[in-house]
Amino acid sequence: MKVDRDALVATVSRMKSEGFDYLVKVTAVDYADHIDVLYILRNTDTSKDEILEVMLDPEDLRIHTIINIHKSADWYEREMSEMFGIGILGRNAPRLLLEKWDGVDPPLRKVFAWNAAYKTKEDK
């Protein structure tokens, strides 16, 4: 189901009240011209899954947190922030989960320069 970025929090909240009480996964996919953020929610009574798709413009990579609805979103949101450069509005994660890199572009974006990222100090 496609969801507008500004309707995400209300949609996730509504779906939780409708029985989609388990957050299976949050991830992102870089299509070069846009980034999709995918939320997989499960109704544990019916075992039905629903995928919410939020399309982000690469020039405005911001999305609202859902951590107040699903606490398990914490790791996923922080991972998206570090690996895709997506700003998570409404929260502050003071430390990195994964690791720092010297490059400008996040490592899971198509614009990431793999060769430059893995040069050793001697190569530079």
Give residue limits of the domains in the chain. 5-117
Q: Which pLDDT score, from 0 to 100, does residue 32 have?
A: 85
5-117 has which CATH code? 3.30.460.80
3-class DSSP state for residue 1?
coil
Q: What is the pTM of this model?
A: 0.83
Instruction: Name the residue type at position 78.
Output: R
Q: What H or E segment, with its residue span, contains residue 43?
A: strand 35-43
Instruction: Tell which residue, 78, 61, 68, 69, has the closest CA to residue 26.
Output: 78
- pLDDT, averaged per 10 consecutive residues of the chain (124 residues), comes to 97 98 96 95 98 96 96 92 89 68 71 60 52
d(C-alpha 12, C-alpha 52), whole Å: 9
Q: Which pLDDT score, from 0 to 100, does residue 111 have?
A: 74
Q: Which pLDDT score, from 0 to 100, does residue 55 have?
A: 98
